A and B are shown apart, each in its own frame.
Chain A
Amino acid sequence: MNNNITFGSHEAICLMITMISTKAILNFPSAMAKIGGPAAWIVAIYISLLVIIAFYIVSKLYSKFEDKDIIDIGGILGGKALKILLGVLILIFLIALLSFYLRSFSEEMKTMGFTISPIGFVMLFFVFGMIISAYVGIEALIRFQAIIVPVTVISFILFIIALIPSMSIDNIKPILGLGSYNVFVKGAVRISDFAELIFLFLLPPFIKKTDVFNKTGFIGLVICSLVLTSLTFSFVSIYPYPISTGDLLPAYELARIIKFGRFFERAESILVITWATIGFMYLSTAFYFLLHVFKKTFGLRYYEPLILPFALVIMSTSLIPERLMNIISLESGIFRNFIWIIVFILPVVLLIVTRAVRREKSGNSS
């Protein structure tokens, strides 16, 4: 069973970095620019702080539920019915997330290297990766990430350093961009950009100890915040508002401008490999957890027979929107505006009620 697999804080932090920071190379910077304009980087810092505060509250509430994930806690509170309801909500979230990101990564790869290939063909590479990694299991996936993520973070730092000569402080003025209402009120809803935090709430059976859970959450969130903020800052300081709002693949556009003399140009061709690896890690991890949650919610003995049907469902769902623009609007305009209710409000309410019920029960028994 999966619960025999245990990993430490380093592996869990790498997993969190993969799951949350990945959107930095997709549409996160332009989504921030749409809200805050030149102050997109302030929106990124603001939502990062909100998420760290939200996680602090959750971590305090979680302290009494060592090695229990959010589905187990639902089971403790409301029995099988609540466990299934929570599981189904998480499954819907994961299917939507996988469909959005499978399409986004495939479109990105198509734009960068496979311009005349059909999108379904490019997508197959990621789908094969997801299928193989699901068969291999979570342990191999986690160990792989523990090696690759530090390398990716270093290459990201070099990427940002290479962009410094192109940055202009004038582009980030006025400091509050489109106004404090946009930055602090509209921006608050974008806390959903950290919705992948839900993977941390599914990790306790694997990481067992509360202190590892807390360490993973705080360190992971701080690193993710730095990655997202630095890339957003680079983007808006290079591309002035409103140009910054129209870009579908900001990191790709940034990579294109990196140039050292006449000999080092077109750095995006090196980054294609890094981004394909990041995409593979993100999709494989999310796909594994989709199967894991399905198995756990419905009390199944194996998840392996469900790998192929779920891969077909995800691939087909991601191909339903006709254009990349449609999927970005769906993800950015609808999904990310509401998902914070499932990821942040629901666990907090659940943990508070479960703790209250437990306290009442222990009070009655004594």
Chain B
Amino acid sequence: MIFILRVILAIILLWVFIKTISYGKWTWDKKNRLGAVMIFVVALAAVILPIYVFYIRY
């Protein structure tokens, strides 16, 4: 059960990461460099923090 939950979470994380990065790329193309960089930071945090909490800690 835990394995299945971890696989589902990994798929969600990957999907959210790709979606956020694509928004960051779109913002970069609109010449909003700082906004794009901050979106990339949020995308990274949205992957690293759940991995730490759900895969490493538990």
Decide: B45 and A309 in contact? CB cutoff 8 A. Answer: yes
Which residues of A116-139 are within 8 A (CB) of B? 120
CA distance A120 to B57 in the complex (A): 13
Given contacts A305-B19, A305-B23, A306-B20, contact A312 B13 (CB under 8 A): yes
Cβ of A308 within 8 Å of any chain B Cβ, yes or no, is yes
Distance of B55 from chain A, by nearest CB (Å): 11
Q: Which residues of B contact A319 (CB under 8 A)?
A: 53, 57
B residues less than 8 Å from A309 (CB atoms) = 16-17, 20, 42-43, 45-46
**Mask: chain B, 13-56; 1 = CB below 8 Å from A; 0 = not:** 10011011001000100101011001100110110011011100
Q: B30 contacts which chain A residues (CB < 8 A)?
A: 301
CA distance A302 to B46 in the complex (A): 18
Q: Do the beta carbons of A312 and B46 come within 8 Å of each other?
A: yes
Q: Give chain A interface residues in 311-350, CB to chain B under 8 Å.
A: 312-313, 315-317, 319-320
A84-B34, A294-B38, A305-B23 as given contacts; A310 in contact with B49, CB under 8 Å: no
User: How distant is the Cα of A315 from the Cα of B43 in the complex, in angstroms?
Assistant: 14
Do the beta carbons of A316 and B53 come within 8 Å of each other? Answer: yes
In the complex, which range does the number of interface residues on chain B fall in? 20 to 34
Contacts of A120 in B (CB 8 A): 54
A298 touches B (CB below 8 Å) = yes
| A341 to B46 CA separation, bound complex (whole angstroms) | 29
For B46, what are the chain A residues with a Cβ–Cβ distance below 8 Å?
308-310, 312-313
Q: Mark A342-365, 1 if CB is under 8 A from B, else 0.
A: 000000000000000000000000
Is there an interface contact between A313 and B45, defined as CB atoms closer than 8 Å? yes
B35 touches A317 (CB 8 A): no
Which residues of chain B are within 8 angstroms of A301 by Cβ–Cβ distance?
27, 30
Select one of B17, B35, B52 contacting A300, CB under 8 A: B35
Binary interface profile of A, 289-310, with partner B (CB < 8 Å = 1, else 0)? 0000010001111100110111
Chain B residues closer than 8 Å to A299, beta-carbon distance: 32, 34-35
**CA of A310 to CA of B57 in the docked complex: distance in angstroms?**
20
Q: Are B43 and A300 in contact (CB under 8 A)?
A: no
Residues of B within 8 A of A320 (CB): 52-53
Q: Which of A301, A310, A312 has the most CB of B within 10 A?
A: A312
Q: A313 and B20: CB pair below 8 A?
A: no
> Can you list 27 A-B contacts (CB < 8 A)?
A84-B34, A298-B32, A298-B35, A298-B38, A299-B32, A299-B35, A302-B23, A306-B20, A306-B39, A306-B42, A308-B19, A308-B20, A308-B46, A309-B17, A309-B20, A309-B42, A309-B45, A309-B46, A312-B13, A312-B49, A313-B42, A313-B49, A315-B50, A319-B53, A319-B57, A320-B52, A320-B53
Top 6 nearest A-B pairs by Cβ distance?
Answer: A309-B46, A316-B49, A305-B23, A298-B35, A312-B46, A316-B53
B residues touching A (Cβ–Cβ < 8 Å)? 13, 16-17, 19-20, 23, 27, 30, 32, 34-35, 38-39, 42-43, 45-46, 49-50, 52-54, 57
